[in-house]
Structure 1
Amino acid sequence: MSEVWAERQRRTNQLVRGIARKVLEGPIDGNRLYGLCRLTWITEAYDAEHPAYIRSTKIPALGDALHQNFTGRTLDEVANEVATQLERPELETLVRSHTGFTNFYKAYRNSAREWMLMHEAEITAIFQRAYLLQSDADAQLLGADIAALPSIPKANHPHLLMRPEYLLTPACFALDPRLRFPILNGAERVQSVLRRIGAADRSVPAQIQLFVGLIGQNGVRDAADLDQLGLTALDGLGRADHEPMRQLLMHVPDEGDSLPLKDEEDVRRLQQALDVAQRRVHNSMTNKLRQLLANWTLLEGRAKDCRYDVLVKGYDGGDNDLLLEVKSSVDSAQIRMAIGQVYDYWHRLMGPSSDCHAAIVLPGRPDTATEELLQWLEVGLLWLEGGQLYTSTEWLEEFVAAVGPKK
């Protein structure tokens, strides 16, 4: 899961709820409800470098929701106006920040407005209940009412219909005070989850029940985590008959006297690595990696015989994953152990692959002999220095550059 993107979804929840409090006080109309939906949308240009969605989608959505004409206004002006009008200073920061998370089908964007105007009373009731949700059972009932609505016609092709949950469940996610209402849209990661758990043809309430049941497992904290994860990234998630092979990379304590270390069975041969000081270094390094690599989905091994430290999903921008083993020292014994671990873990995860994407992470740059050994074995080398990630491995240079500039 991309932690950065999950946080964006959580900010969207805060913004939509902040705006909805005013909208749901009334007078309510379909245009204002459409504005709340539209606040969950992005366009293809949604990132910090090319945020065209702000002008084309976000500002108009705020205008719809608040019955305001923000045409020609800057984002800062709109943020100030929204916070002042609603008497909620925190909304100024939320409006300025990047929000929105679903690239809703373009061909249905205009017809969705007309559809919401036609079903204004029903959608008002759904949004009011979503804003006040208190239980997962209530969420299932809400899902049943969403599914009971007519399908949404495509602009200029009214015979081509879209399921109402594709439009309304992202909005209910953004309205839910518990952040547990799942997003059931047409995104591939959502559909992969439904297929994996055999729920693609189940009712919307049943799908909600199954999705919510995954929250709390393997580091999935809320519906934002669940939406970003996708079951194809996890083995055995939600299946009681299997111990999960992996889970989301979690924060681990790096202070205090009781410090966990996943691979103590192996490290017991190297007693110095079991010292509290060494465990503190190991966990501190893992936490730092979690921060530096927040733009990637990060998993950690949980199976007893495959407790790897970090798996970076799609590290090269494609389908390849990167297996990382963290060591708290550049000592040769620990490095030799790390080499054995990455090969063993990779084989257990990927089988006898001829193309191994594995690296060890050290608290500093090792000596030349170690670098030559790793190069000969085709094991990548990464090290942390001054809070930044470095490498001397050619095939990892692009990845390290993508992590961010050295400051």
Structure 2
Amino acid sequence: MSQIWSDRQRRTNQLVRRVAAHILAENPDGNQLLGLCRLTWITNAYEGDNPAYIHSTKIPALADAIGIDLKGLTLPAVASLVAQKFQDQELLPLILPHTGFTNFYKAYRNSARPWAIDNKNALLDIFRQAQSLNSDEEGEELAARIALLPSIPKANHPEQGMRPEFLLTPVCFALDPRLRFPIINGAGRIKALLRRVGVVDGTTVAKYRALVSLIGRGGIKDAADLDQLGLADQLDLLSDDQEQLRYQLPEQPQEGDELPSKEEEEVARLQQALSAVQRRLHNRMTNQLRRILDKWTLFEGRAADCRYDVLVRNYDGANNDLLIEVKSSTDASQVRMAIGQVFAYWHRLKGDTDDIHSAILFPSRPTDQIQNLLSWLEIGMLWLDDEHLYTHTDWLDGMATLITV
């Protein structure tokens, strides 16, 4: 699952809920309700410093939602104006970052407006219910209400209709304060996921039930993570064994009296218990690696016999995974333990194979002797300094921020 994309979806949730808090308390019209839907939309140009979606989609969506003409304004100017209109300065940091996540079908973008106007009362009730969801049972009721709405007609071909769930489940996700209402649309990854759980041809309610039941498994903590699960290389998370072997890498605790480390049970069999200082450093390093590698999908192992630190999915673009063991010291005993761990974990994950992709992450550059040992074993070497990831391993140069010789 892409952490960048999941976080973008969560930001969209925060923005839509903040805007909705102001307009749903009044009596919004169909255009304003469509504006909330459009705040979840993107176009193909959705990344970069000044992507096209901002002026073609995001600003017009805000204009619809608040009922003000925003043409010709920059995004900072729009954010300032909207914050001023609602006397809500907390809108500024929500409007400025990238938001939106669904590339809604172009053939239905225009026809969705008259449909929203015609179904304004039903949409208002649905949106208000979505912004105050308290349980999955209430969410299921909401899914049933969405299914009862008429199809959205296709532009110039009104006889061809689109399911209302394609338009409304993204905005219900964006309104849900619990972040548990699943996105059910025509995206390929969603179809793949629905097919995997056997409801691709099911009702809206059946799809809702099946998707919500996956939250909490395999590191899927909310519907933002769930939306990424349909990617082809993520579907193995749905098997019971893989759920433990590949678990979405979470933020690691760094403060407090209890500093749990997922490898403590195994480490205890190899050496004395880790000190709190070492555990804190270990988790800080893991979190730093998680931030640096946020463009990759990262997992951690939770099976009793395979508690690896990080697995980087398709790290090299050739469908090879990289197993990384994090060590809080370059001490020789830690290095020897890490060597044994990466080989044991790799065998548990991949079976009998000579094609091993593993690395050890250190808090600082190891000695030449350790470098030579790891090179001889064909184990990659990484270390951290400030916000940079270093390597002396040529086949890891696409991952590290700085390469040394």
Q: TM-score, normalised by structure 2?
A: 0.90
Q: Show CA shifts across 1:212-244 (max 9, x none).
A: 2333344433222222344852645485x9863
- Distance apart, 1:303 and its partner CA: 0.9
Runs of 5+ unmatched residues, structure 2: none
| Separation (CA, whole Å) in 2 of partners of 1:117 and 1:58 | 20
What is residue 233 of structure 1 aligned with on the other side? 234
SS of aligned partner of 2:111 = helix
Percent of pairs with identical residues: 58
Residues 320 and 138 (structure 1), Cα distance of their counterparts in 2 relative to 1, 3 Å cut? same
- What are the equivalent positions in structure 2 for 1:94-133 lying under 5 Å apart? 94-133=94-133
How many correspondences in the alignment?
403
Check whether the contact 1:327–1:363 (CA below 8 A) recurs between aligned residues.
yes
Residues 180 and 243 (structure 1), Cα distance of their counterparts in 2 relative to 1, 3 Å cut? closer
| Separation (CA, whole Å) in 1 of partners of 2:62 and 2:254 | 43
What is residue 375 of structure 2 aligned with on the other side? 375
Residues 269 and 19 (structure 1), Cα distance of their counterparts in 2 relative to 1, 3 Å cut? closer
What is residue 24 of structure 1 aligned with on the other side? 24
Give the partner amino acid of 1:262: K
Q: Show CA shifts across 1:17-71 (max 9, x none).
A: 2222333244433222211111001112212334221111001111111221111
SS of aligned partner of 1:117 = helix
Runs of 5+ unmatched residues, structure 1: none
- What are the equivalent positions in structure 2 for 1:3-402 lying under 5 Å apart? 3-230=3-230, 233=234, 235=236, 237=238, 244-255=244-255, 258-268=258-268, 270-271=270-271, 274-317=274-317, 319-401=319-401
Of residues 363-372 and 347-356 in structure 1, the stretch that sits farther from structure 2 once superposed is 347-356
Check whether the contact 1:132–1:177 (CA below 8 A) recurs between aligned residues.
yes
Check whether the contact 1:110–1:155 (CA below 8 A) recurs between aligned residues.
yes
| Separation (CA, whole Å) in 2 of partners of 1:184 and 1:109 | 17
Residues 290 and 357 (structure 1), Cα distance of their counterparts in 2 relative to 1, 3 Å cut? same
Residues 39 and 357 (structure 1), Cα distance of their counterparts in 2 relative to 1, 3 Å cut? same
| Separation (CA, whole Å) in 1 of partners of 2:177 and 2:277 | 41
Residues 243 and 216 (structure 1), Cα distance of their counterparts in 2 relative to 1, 3 Å cut? closer
Check whether the contact 1:131–1:175 (CA below 8 A) recurs between aligned residues.
yes
Residues 120 and 259 (structure 1), Cα distance of their counterparts in 2 relative to 1, 3 Å cut? closer
Q: TM-score, normalised by structure 1?
A: 0.89
Residues 20 and 259 (structure 1), Cα distance of their counterparts in 2 relative to 1, 3 Å cut? closer
| Separation (CA, whole Å) in 2 of partners of 1:133 and 1:373 | 56
Of residues 61-70 and 285-294 in structure 1, the stretch that sits farther from structure 2 once superposed is 285-294
Of residues 313-322 and 62-71 in structure 1, the stretch that sits farther from structure 2 once superposed is 313-322
Give the partner amino acid of 1:178: R
Residues 336 and 116 (structure 1), Cα distance of their counterparts in 2 relative to 1, 3 Å cut? same
SS of aligned partner of 1:137 = helix
